[in-house]
Amino acid sequence: MTEEHINQEAGDNATQIGKVGRDVNIYNYSENERRKQYEEALNWDGKTRLRGFDLSGRDLTKVKLTRADLRTSNLSRANLDGTDLRDADLYEADLHDADLSDASLSGADLSKANLSGANLSLANLQGVKIDDETKIDDKWRLVWKIVNQGAEEKNLSGVDLSGAHLWEASLSGVNLSKTNLSGANLINANLQEADLNAANLSRADLTMANLKGANLKSVNLNETRMRGADLRNADLGKANLHEADLSEVKYNEYANWPEGFDPEKAGAIKLED
């Protein structure tokens, strides 16, 4: 069977997976066929359909698959760290236990896809299409909701949002007390007047975040990047600021800092309101 015939057969038969069941491999590809499919995906030309391919366990780190047709494909346990899957068609794709950390999934169609056990740390879920039949861990479904539907004034106290991609997220007034946001991407996020009391923000990125009037009492900001963030009127009493990057952070006379802490020495800029 030629490579062209393999690709054509996969595309013509892929729609049958929905009838047979997503957990069933109806193709029974040989190792040679799987190897050719992997090479085609690894060196994707931007046009060829990858529908129904068996790419399970393959290393596709940082491969550009923008707008790729991966319908019903098997990507279970695949390494998709940093892979560009923007606007990709992943309808009914099997992505269980896949590593999608730092992947760009914005605009992708994940309807009826299986993402059980998938690692979505720092994956961009903005504009991603999922439905009630999409199998995805509760943590990442919540992140998807926050990114695409907002969370203003909601109670997210004690929730695990570690490693979440919350770039420019609208979180003003949200109760995030004791919430785990370690390693989260909160660049340009709106956290004005949010309650972050005793939250874990260690190693998170709060660059240019709006934290005006936020409650940051006893928050863990160990090794947190906060360059350019707005901390005017914020309360950081008893906060852990060990090795936090406070370069160009804005604050005013009403901002409350831990006892003995010198914000200007740490690189923060005091503004006169």
The string of pLDDT tens digits covering residues 208-254 is 999 999 999 999 999 999 999 999 999 999 999 999 999 999 999 99
pLDDT at 17 over 50: no
Q: Do the first three CATH levels of 1-149 and 150-273 match, i.e. the same topology?
A: yes
What mean pLDDT, rounded, does the chain reach?
Answer: 92
Whole-number pLDDT of residue 27? 59
Structure-block tokens of residue 5: 């015939």
pLDDT at 39 over 60: yes
Supply the angle between the helices 31-42 and 3-13 in degrees, to the nearest 10.
90
Q: What percent of the chain has pLDDT over 70?
A: 90
Q: Where are the domains of the chain?
A: 1-149, 150-273
The residue-averaged pLDDT of 109-132 equals 98
Whole-number pLDDT of residue 28? 82
In CATH terms, 150-273 corresponds, of 2.170.150.20, 2.160.20.80, 3.30.43.10, 2.60.40.10, to 2.160.20.80
Which of 4-13, 93-102, 129-138, 207-216 has the least mean pLDDT? 4-13
Picking from 80, 88, 174, the residue whose alpha carbon sits closest to that of residue 127 is 88
- The backbone torsions φ and ψ at residue 34, rounded to the nearest 5 degrees and listed phi first, read -65, -40
Picking from 49, 9, 17, the residue whose alpha carbon sits closest to that of residue 33 is 9
Answer yes or no: are the C-beta atoms of 25 and 45 closer than 8 Å: no
The residue-averaged pLDDT of 91-115 equals 98
Residue that has been written with the tokens 């004034």 in this structure: 153
The residue-averaged pLDDT of 258-273 equals 95
Give me the architecture of the 1-149 domain, per CATH. 3 Solenoid (2.160)
